């Protein structure tokens, strides 16, 4: 069964609860979550005048093809009240597909691996927690190696575990 790595992000509402609900929704619609990083807080990337994000990386097994996985991720976003009003704007939930096995795709709807993964510390830090030795299929470097050379200066802080 294919392995997918996702990044969840939330910066509106009860961020912890939204991420928990997203994990539950993904387990129901996508497949079993076999690893989950801790939560990490980061200032917004891109459009910076908005609340800080909580991010979490997941490793899942799925029988869905990449575009079906994208549809399932977007359905979970919709269930969390996601509205697409402003590019990189504030949102209740964002679910990005970072990696899907070693698949490389560039289509109008989906690019894999995620095209900005190597330049985003907020994605690399939680991903490295659960997939440090996974090799990026285009860069030819492990996630840990990509994190070591990432020039993104945004601070990524471990968020206290919620009870």
94 is catalytic: yes
Which candidate in 15, 91, 120, 121 is catalytic? 91
Please say if 71 is a catalytic residue. no
In the residue annotation, 82 being an active-site residue is answered as yes
Bridge partners (DSSP) of residue 9 are 55, 94
Largest CA distance in the chain: 41
Alpha-carbon span 118 to 52, nearest angstrom: 21
**Which of 73, 55, 58 is closest to 15 using CA atoms?**
55
* Active-site residue (options: 15, 59, 94, 152): 94
96 is catalytic: yes
Catalytic residue among 59, 96, 120, 121: 96
Find how far residue 4's CA is from the centre of its chain: 10
| Active-site residue, selected from the candidate residues 82, 120, 121, 152 | 82
**What are 1's two structure tokens?**
């069964």
> Looking at the annotation, which residues are catalytic?
82, 91, 94, 96
């Amino acid at each position: 069964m294919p392995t997918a790595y996702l990044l969840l992000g939330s910066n509106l509402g009860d961020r912890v609860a939204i991420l928990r609900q997203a994990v539950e929704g993904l387990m129901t619609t996508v497949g079993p979550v076999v690893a989950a990083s801790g939560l990490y807080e980061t200032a917004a990337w891109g459009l910076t005048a908005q609340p800080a994000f909580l991010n979490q990386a997941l490793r899942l097994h799925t029988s869905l093809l990449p575009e079906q996985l994208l549809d399932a991720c977007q359905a979970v976003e919709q269930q969390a009240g996601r509205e697409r009003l402003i590019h990189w704007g504030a949102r209740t939930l964002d679910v990005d597909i970072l990696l899907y096995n070693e698949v490389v795709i560039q289509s109008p709807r989906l690019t894999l691996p995620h095209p900005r993964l190597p330049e985003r510390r907020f994605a690399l830090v939680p991903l490295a927690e659960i997939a440090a030795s996974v090799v990026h299929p285009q860069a030819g470097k492990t996630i840990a190696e990509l994190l070591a050379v990432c020039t993104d200066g945004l601070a990524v802080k471990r968020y206290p575990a919620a009870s």
